[in-house]
Structure 1
Amino acid sequence: MAEDLAKRNGLQKDVVQTQNFAITAYHSFKDNKQPLRIYIEGDGLAYRSRSKPSKDPTPRDPVVLKLMIVDNYTNKAYLARPCHYSQQDLLSACSVKNWTTERFSPVIIRSMNEAVSKLKEQNGARDIELIGFSGGGAVAVLIAALRDDVKSIRTVAGNLDHAAFTKHHDVTPLDGSLNPVDVASRIAHIPQIHFSGQNDTVVPLSIAESYLHNLHNKNCIKIQTVPHVTHGRGWSEVWNVLLDIPFALCIGPHEKPSIVDNNLANR
């Protein structure tokens, strides 16, 4: 589905070879004077049921690819996650842990960061913007903590505290995975908007709030609830409206910006 969607919309396909994985990418490089905006895919089909992992985590619905396609920005790329869209890696490089309990492991995050660096080098941009959906939001935050060229972060239904997430759903903890909440203070200076669907029962608002509550300095961060949107449905219809929402001004440490804005219905 992703490849057909990309072809129909004039995107170039790449397979970015990292030390551990071959990661699928699609891009439209037209103006490298702008930061490279990188969209990071969600977890895909990690499990068939609450306790049974899938044999192939490739997304059945590439949500963040659809967001990239409707975005009119002229310097953008999409990154799948390790083991997505790659039968060869599934046979040789991947293990089930790579998309289940260790989906945010140091090896996975290093590989994604390496892929980001290679795309940036290929593009020639000076800086990057990161956008991640669901587990891709976790990856975006964890990558940002490793870099000094990230201008902004947006997450869409982002799993920003996987310990809170697994506790909320009473499912297997992601042992072996890094947790975005643990690096939140390290990237608190980066402008961030974390979008939460009002009707999202997969990654509810409480997960983003848990991330926020672990920050002493909240001045660069917004949490934005989006009406009538579930975890995977309704985002592309409102995405360009959401992209127009300004980042926080990163005001002084003794001032408090509005963190939660529920007024999107009036936009």
Structure 2
Amino acid sequence: MIFLASRRAISHTLALALMTLISSNGCASEAESHPQVKELLDGGFLRLENTPTLTLTRVGENSEAKRVVLFIEGDGATWRDFGFKPPNDPTPKNSLSLRLALHSRHQSNLTLIYVSRPCQFKGQEALAQCSPKQWSTERYNDTQASIVETSISLALKNVAATAGHISDLQIIGHSGGGLLGVKIAANRLRKNQIFSKLYAIASPIDPETWLKNHRLNYLPVGTYYQDLTLLIENELLDVYLGESDRIVRYIDINTDLVWLRKKSILVPNVKHISGWSDYWNNTLLPKIKAQKFLTE
């Protein structure tokens, strides 16, 4: 779920310090006690150590092992007081990204990576070293994106060491994870790093219009719109919106963004979280498996 309140930005220096202080070891018991995380671990996923956010990997089999599907977590726990106060703990109670990763494990031989957002799945001691701004007003800025990007880079190195050369990388971002996915995908494209396509699911892909329509306070997004333009120009972005989603709607895309409006797919009988599992199993995952982005 996506909600926000207006706060002043934390400095880049403080954010980097927080990255150093919050080690993945501090969230081990908290993460592994989460029912959905436990399902993935029981299903063959491995938890990587020494990543700034919770990172789970499962290396695929046969020729599909070199094809990677990466899931970026959404914003996490629901906000309190009708969306005006951030949660004390941003860990999602009902994660669509974890659910889709589990479905993918059962229905494909693809290599799968799940990456959470900063400060999620932390124990009390590690969470106390976070700033609530990291999961509220600063959650889409370039610094938070770089934290997630670090986890992704470490996961890809780990996968490559097992599977060998990675032939393609497809990124799945649910809700706010789709916004960070835009930043991360654009960075990889500029650096000529492996990247095939971004699938934004129920994401406020035009955050300025979304904020205005829902009468929410300004939220800094850094280089987001430059990154979005780069992906659009290269046709590396697919947008899927739930027809029954009241949090992120088709009308939350500005009419000036003609390409986005034209290419966005409205999925019937789907809300912000509910309904996506069936669409993933029956439509999106088969589409991803059938596509070939091989760079070998």
TM-score (norm: length of structure 1): 0.80
The Cα shift of 1:115 comes to 1.3
Checking the alignment, whether the CA contact within 8 Å between 1:16 and 1:25 is kept in structure 2 is no
- CA distance in 2: counterparts of 1:53 and 1:164, whole angstroms: 21
Quick one: which of 79, 84, 89 aligns to 1:51?
A: 84
- CA distance in 1: counterparts of 2:68 and 2:256, whole angstroms: 30
Quote the residue 1:91 is aligned against: 128
Quote the residue 1:264 is aligned against: none
The Cα shift of 1:5 comes to 2.4
Quick one: which of 236, 239, 248 aligns to 1:194?
A: 239
Quote the residue 1:117 is aligned against: 153
CA RMSD of aligned residues (A): 2.4
- CA distance in 2: counterparts of 1:190 and 1:29, whole angstroms: 28
Asked if 1:147 is matched to 2:188, the reply is yes
- CA distance in 2: counterparts of 1:134 and 1:101, whole angstroms: 15
Quote the residue 1:30 is aligned against: 60
- CA distance in 2: counterparts of 1:198 and 1:104, whole angstroms: 25
Checking the alignment, whether the CA contact within 8 Å between 1:42 and 1:134 is kept in structure 2 is yes
Asked if 1:237 is matched to 2:275, the reply is no
Quote the residue 1:68 is aligned against: 101
State the Cα deviation string for residues 1-43 of structure 1 (Å, max 9, x = none).
Answer: 23222234332222452xxxx2002221124753321001100
- CA distance in 1: counterparts of 2:171 and 2:41, whole angstroms: 23
- CA distance in 1: counterparts of 2:41 and 2:57, whole angstroms: 11
Structure 1 unmatched runs, 5+? 249-267
Structure 2 unmatched runs, 5+? 1-34, 161-165, 292-296
Checking the alignment, whether the CA contact within 8 Å between 2:53 and 2:116 is kept in structure 1 is yes
- CA distance in 1: counterparts of 2:227 and 2:195, whole angstroms: 14
State the Cα deviation string for residues 39-59 of structure 1 (Å, max 9, x = none).
Answer: 011001252132111111100
- CA distance in 2: counterparts of 1:63 and 1:194, whole angstroms: 16
Quote the residue 2:222 is aligned against: 178
TM-score (norm: length of structure 2): 0.73
Asked if 1:128 is matched to 2:169, the reply is yes
Which structure's relative contact order is higher, taking Cα pairs within 8 Å and 6+ residues apart? 2
Distance 1:214 1:133, change over 3 A: same
Aligned length: 237
Asked if 1:41 is matched to 2:86, the reply is no
- CA distance in 2: counterparts of 1:57 and 1:181, whole angstroms: 25
Query: Helix, strand or coil for the counterpart of 2:48?
Result: strand
Quote the residue 1:204 is aligned against: 249
Asked if 1:167 is matched to 2:167, the reply is no
- CA distance in 2: counterparts of 1:181 and 1:214, whole angstroms: 11
- CA distance in 1: counterparts of 2:229 and 2:188, whole angstroms: 14
Query: Helix, strand or coil for the counterpart of 1:194?
Result: strand
Quote the residue 2:118 is aligned against: 82
Hey, which of these two has a bigger chunk of helix by percent? Answer: 2
The Cα shift of 1:194 comes to 0.9
- CA distance in 2: counterparts of 1:15 and 1:238, whole angstroms: 32
Q: Which runs of 4+ in 1 moved over 3 A?
A: 179-182, 212-215, 244-248
The Cα shift of 1:205 comes to 1.5
